[in-house]
Amino acid sequence: MDSAYTEIVEVLKGYFDGFYEGNADKLKKVFHPNCHLYYAPDGVLQDDSMETVYERVRDRTAPLVAGQARSDQIFSIDRSSSGSALAKVQIAIGDRLFTDYLSLLKIDGRWQIVAKSFSWVSISAGLSKAAE
């Protein structure tokens, strides 16, 4: 396995840990400060800055504290060059099962998430779809 892939997997582990533990400081290590999160509930674009995301993470009950089982999964990592990648991952937070598309760039010698787009389903809907 090449070192870039291993480095990206480590970033994704930090991503999973930060959201599961509700730890904004861990998330700050994997997200570039200029990153934005994009989603479109009901077809309306939402654009959240990282400070908005960190505030949300600090204010909610972390899945770890709630006793929620982890549901982290890496579906794919696609690298188009030595410094650009796209990861498709899944995580569970509360009653939502998220599918996230993470754009990563290698900046200043380390991989960082520079953009995220995502959608979600309720956990019960996601699990029933997985059983189909």
Over the stretch 1-20, which tens digit does the pLDDT of each residue have?
Answer: 588 999 999 999 999 999 99
- The alpha-helical segments, DSSP class H, found in 1-131 are 3-21, 24-28, 50-59, 63-66, 123-131
Task: Look up the CATH number of the domain holding residue 92.
Answer: 3.10.450.50
CA dihedral 50, 9, 76, 88 (to 10 degrees): -10
Structurally, how many domains does the chain consist of? 1
* pLDDT of the residue at 127: 52
Residue 87, domain extent: 3-131
Name 28's Cβ contacts closer than 8 Å, sequence gap at least 6. Answer: 50, 54
Q: What's this model's pTM, rounded to 2 decimal places?
A: 0.90
Report pLDDT for 72: 95
